Amino acid sequence: MNRYLRFAPLLLLTGGVMMAPRLNCHGSPPSPVDPIVETDLVDSYFVAAEVSFRSLQGQKADKLRAGEFEAEADSVKWFETEFTNAKREAVKPLLDYEFEQFGREKWTPEGEAAIAERWSKGGAR
C-alpha cells in the first residue's frame, strides 16, 4: 500500500493538468455553446439567427429521419427557405430602430453613415 502512496502527488498533478482545459475561470465545465453577450441590436440579430439556425437543424434532422426529403436538394431548399424567413424576422428590430433614427424625411447620407459606423464598432443601441 505504501509503495503506491508515493505516486499520489503525481496522480493529483496529472489529473489537475488533464482537467484544466475543461474548466473555465469559475471551475465549472464550459457550456456546449458559450452564450454571446448582447451589447446592441446587431448582437441581438446574430443571437436570434444562431438560435434559429440550431433549431432548424434539429427540425431538419427529424424530417430527414422521417423520410420527408427525397433528395439532398429538397433538404437544402427547405432549410434555405426557413432560415431566410427566420433571419428576416430577426432583423426587424434593427431595421425598426434605423427607421426611427433616419427614416423617410429624416434620412441623410451622414445620418445613415453614423449608424452604420456605430454598428461596425459594436456596443451601441
User: Does the structure show a pLDDT above 70 at 26?
Assistant: no
Q: How many domains does the chain have?
A: 1
**Does residue 44 carry a pLDDT above 60?**
yes
Question: What are the phi and psi torsion angles at 45 (to 5°)?
Answer: -60, -50
Query: In this structure, is the dihedral angle defined by the CA atoms of residues 85, 86, 92 and 94, taken in order, positive or negative?
Result: negative
For 90-122, the pLDDT digits (tens) are 999 999 999 998 888 999 999 999 889 988 887
Residue 62: inside a domain, yes or no?
yes
Domain membership of residue 8 (yes or no) is: no
In a domain, 1, yes or no: no
Q: How far apart are CA 12 and CA 108, in angstroms?
A: 65
Residue 24, domain member (yes or no): no
By residue range, what is the domain housing residue 63? 32-121
Report the C-alpha gap between 87 and 69 in whole angstroms.
23
87 domain residue, yes or no: yes
Is the whole model's pTM more than 0.75, yes or no?
no
Q: Quick one: CA dihedral 38, 40, 46, 48, positive or negative?
A: positive
